[in-house]
Structures are given as structure tokens and as C-alpha cells.
Amino acid sequence: MANVRMDKWLWAARFFKTRSLAAKACELGRVQSNKQPAKPAREVRAGDLLQIRTEGGDFEVEVLLLSEVRGPASVAQTLYRETDAGRELRLKVAAERKAMMNFTPAPMGRPSKRDRRKIHQFRDERRTNDLRFEQCRHIRGRQRYPARLHSGGVEECGGHCRRANRIRRL
């Protein structure tokens, strides 16, 4: 076996749970082969230097063996060798992430009404599209519903209310 597809090798080496996830990571530019962006169909050869960004961290590995078949984890670890610089960087980032957990403790229970309003306000500020959730003033509780566009720049709150409100644009 002289060469293998990039997505198959990443899947066989257990960097990704499915081959489609490996292909998507390649398409998004999270995998580089010899400092070049790698496409899913690119062929991997023994000796290639791969840089892989996953949820588990950033890996910098050298390809030792090729495989198209996903096997046990012990076999998958023999397919590559992680570089010393990559390992140190990954461990350093993991230690920083663990240290940050001490500064931001998890909430004790359910958020209060005030906390929930702050969360909704924060999420509304971060929305990327040009329409925001309009606050419905026609029912008790001021629940939020997504705005539906109608002709003339008018939107409705939802199925519960037929009164029209003007939409807010960013």
C-alpha cells in the first residue's frame, strides 16, 4: 500500500470518529499536510508531517504506517508519532484550560430570572444575521419568538398573536 486517502487515514488513526467528520475537518482547513491545506482526497505517504486540529487539541504528527482499516486504539497509535514540540504545546494548552476552570466555577443550580435575561441579552448581541428576536408584548410573560417577515417590512410575533410589529434591523 503506497498511499491512502487523507480522510481514511485520519479515521483509521482515530483522530475522528467517522470518516465524514475527517473529510469535513479537511474541507474546513483544520488539517495540514507538510504545511499545506489538505483536501480529503489527498494521498498520505509515510513520512508526511500532519498538523491536525480536533476538539481534543492540536496534534503535530509524523506518519509512520498507512492503513485504510480502523482497528483498535493500540494499533492506531502505531500509525503515527507525535512530535515533541506538538506534544508540549498540547499539554501546555490543556494545563491552561484546566487552570481556567478554577476561575470560572460552574453555576450552583438553575439560572434565576435575572440571570436568564442576561443570557438572552448576551446571545442577542452575538447574533450574526440581521434580524433579532422581537419581544412579544401581546401576551403575559414577554416570551420571545422568532420574527417572521411579511411584505412591507412588517413581521409577526408567532402563531399566538396576529398583531404586527416593526422589525429591528442591525
Number of Cβ atoms within 10 Å of the Cβ of 56 = 10
Q: Are residues 72 and 124 in the same domain?
A: no
The domain of 25 spans: 4-103
| CA 15-19-21 angle, 5° bins | 70
Domain holding 99: CATH number? 3.10.290.10
Q: Are residues 42 and 10 in the same domain?
A: yes
In b/e form, how buried is each residue of 102-124, taking b as 16+ CB within 10 angstroms?
Answer: eeeeeeeeeeeeeeeeeeeeeee
What integer pLDDT is reported at residue 133 of this predicted model? 43
Q: Are residues 130 and 95 in the same domain?
A: no
Residue 108 within any structural domain of the chain: no
What integer pLDDT is reported at residue 100 of this predicted model? 77
What integer pLDDT is reported at residue 1 of this predicted model? 66
Q: What is the pLDDT along the chain (170 residues), one digit of tens a residue?
A: 678 999 999 999 999 999 999 999 999 999 999 999 999 999 999 999 999 998 888 899 999 999 999 999 999 999 999 999 889 988 888 888 888 777 766 677 888 899 889 888 888 776 544 444 444 444 444 444 444 444 444 444 544 444 444 444 44
Cell 491536525 sits on residue:
52
Q: Are residues 56 and 127 in the same domain?
A: no
Q: Cα–Cα distance between 167 and 144 in angstroms, integer? A: 13
What integer pLDDT is reported at residue 154 of this predicted model? 44
Q: Cite the DSSP H helix spans in the chain.
A: 6-12, 19-27, 73-76, 84-103, 113-126
